[in-house]
């Protein structure tokens, strides 16, 4: 029997596919450009896309409360992003990436359990398998040399991304695009202050703008689909399924770049598929 949470499952998985594609595009762009330049341009492209869609679909302008929630989500998200990139630069990727991803998924699950009550037993097992899958997929080929000091930045990153999920979930039903515009305005402003203060502003590499814009469009799609998922179903289901986005990224790398995946990553993909089935029961 398929759960009545089907809309949340569908949009959550669509969000994961869109976010993963955006990360793949942004990752390619950062091979030749400064990472913060890539993020700023992609965020600007996403903001323009959101504003265009909001006018095209004639979405009513959001209340001040919804805009504030969107801005808070944007600030939390960009703090998480900076912490993640900083962590990847100074600590083992095999610790930073999976830990940040798991913390991201756990926070909305805890909030969802408090606000919406317990899901079914099958769904709880699916949540656990999904989080294990995210860990295995995100580890990639990184060697894990654990040090306690390596925990700080990925935990901050996960909390930032988790708060993004939680704040966006609290906006009014039907308010999708304008709160996300507010999130973009807040995140771009904070990121610009950061890169100017740290003197990390660079001109993007020639030919990389299309990839940056593509990353922004897909990232925006992921945000919009997650918002729909959270509004139409449980926060924990929407957040856990959206957190499977690393699977999309690694599969695209395998198909397009011919990157070899470790056996543990394939096992993670299989666990992710099983988790989706259990969550849908």
Confidence of residue 194 (pLDDT cuts 50, 70, 90): confident
Confidence of residue 196 (pLDDT cuts 50, 70, 90): confident
The dihedral over CA atoms of 239, 40, 204, 254, expressed in degrees to the nearest 10, equals: 0
CA max distance for the chain: 56
Question: Helices (H) and strands (E) in the chain — how many of each?
Answer: 11, 0
Domain ranges of the chain: 6-280
Taking only the tens place, the pLDDT of each residue in 253-278 is 888 888 787 888 888 888 888 988 88
Taking only the tens place, the pLDDT of each residue in 102-130 is 888 888 888 888 888 888 888 888 888 88
User: Which residue, among 6, 4, 50, has the nearest Cα to 276 in the 3D structure?
Assistant: 6
Is the pLDDT reported for residue 73 higher than 90? yes
Share in percent of the chain as helix, strand, coil (round to 5): 80, 0, 20
Confidence of residue 82 (pLDDT cuts 50, 70, 90): confident
Confidence of residue 84 (pLDDT cuts 50, 70, 90): confident
Query: What is the arithmetic mean of pLDDT over 168-192?
Result: 89
- What's the pLDDT score for residue 10? 92
Query: How does DSSP assign 112-134, residue by residue?
Result: HHHHH----HHHHHHHHHHHHHH
- What's the pLDDT score for residue 1? 39
Average of per-residue pLDDT values in the chain: 84
203-227 core/surface letters (b: 16 or more CB in 10 A; e: else): ebbeebeebbbbbbbbbbbbbbbbb
- What's the pLDDT score for residue 65? 93
Tell which wins on pLDDT, 88 or 24: 24
State how far the Cα of 138 lies from the Cα of 78, in Å rounded to an integer: 20
- What's the pLDDT score for residue 148? 65
∠ CA 137-1-277 to the nearest 5 degrees?
A: 5
Is the pLDDT reported for residue 31 higher than 50? yes
- What's the pLDDT score for residue 2? 46
The dihedral over CA atoms of 233, 279, 2, 271, expressed in degrees to the nearest 10, equals: 140
The answer to whether the Cα torsion of 11, 14, 18, 19 is positive or negative is positive
Distances (CA, A) of 279 to 8, 110, 117, 166, 172: 10, 16, 15, 20, 25
Tell which wins on pLDDT, 1 or 170: 170
Tell which wins on pLDDT, 148 or 68: 68
Q: What is the DSSP letter of 171?
A: S
At a CB cut-off of 8 Å and minimum separation 6, what does 64 contact? Answer: none
Q: pTM for this structure?
A: 0.85
Taking only the tens place, the pLDDT of each residue in 14-23 is 999 998 888 8
Tell which wins on pLDDT, 4 or 44: 44
């Amino acid at each position: 029997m398929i759960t009545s949470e089907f809309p949340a499952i569908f949009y959550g998985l669509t969000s994961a596919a869109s976010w993963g594609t955006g990360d793949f595009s942004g990752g390619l762009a950062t091979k030749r450009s400064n990472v913060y330049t890539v993020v700023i341009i992609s965020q600007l492209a996403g903001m323009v896309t959101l504003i265009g869609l909001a006018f095209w679909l004639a979405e009513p302008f959001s209340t001040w409360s919804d805009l504030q929630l969107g801005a808070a989500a944007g600030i939390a998200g960009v703090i998480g992003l900076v912490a993640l990139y900083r962590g990847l630069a100074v600590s083992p990727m095999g610790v930073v990436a999976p830990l940040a991803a798991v913390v991201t998924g756990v926070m909305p699950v805890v909030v969802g359990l408090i606000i919406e009550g317990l899901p079914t037993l099958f769904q709880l097992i699916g949540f656990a398998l999904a989080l294990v899958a995210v860990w295995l997929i995100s580890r990639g080929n990184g060697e894990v040399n654990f040090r306690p000091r390596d925990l700080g930045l990925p935990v901050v990153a996960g909390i930032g991304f988790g708060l993004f999920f939680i704040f966006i979930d609290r906006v009014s039903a039907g308010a999708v695009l304008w709160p996300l515009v507010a999130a973009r305005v807040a995140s771009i402003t904070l990121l610009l202050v950061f890169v100017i203060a740290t003197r990390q502003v660079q001109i993007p590499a020639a030919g990389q703008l299309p990839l940056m814009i593509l990353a922004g469009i897909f990232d925006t799609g992921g945000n919009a689909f997650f918002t729909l998922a959270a509004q139409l179903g449980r926060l924990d289901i929407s957040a856990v399924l959206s957190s499977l986005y690393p699977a999309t990224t690694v599969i695209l790398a395998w198909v397009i770049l011919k990157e070899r995946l470790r056996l543990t990553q394939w096992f993670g993909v299989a666990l992710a598929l099983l988790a989706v089935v259990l969550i849908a029961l």
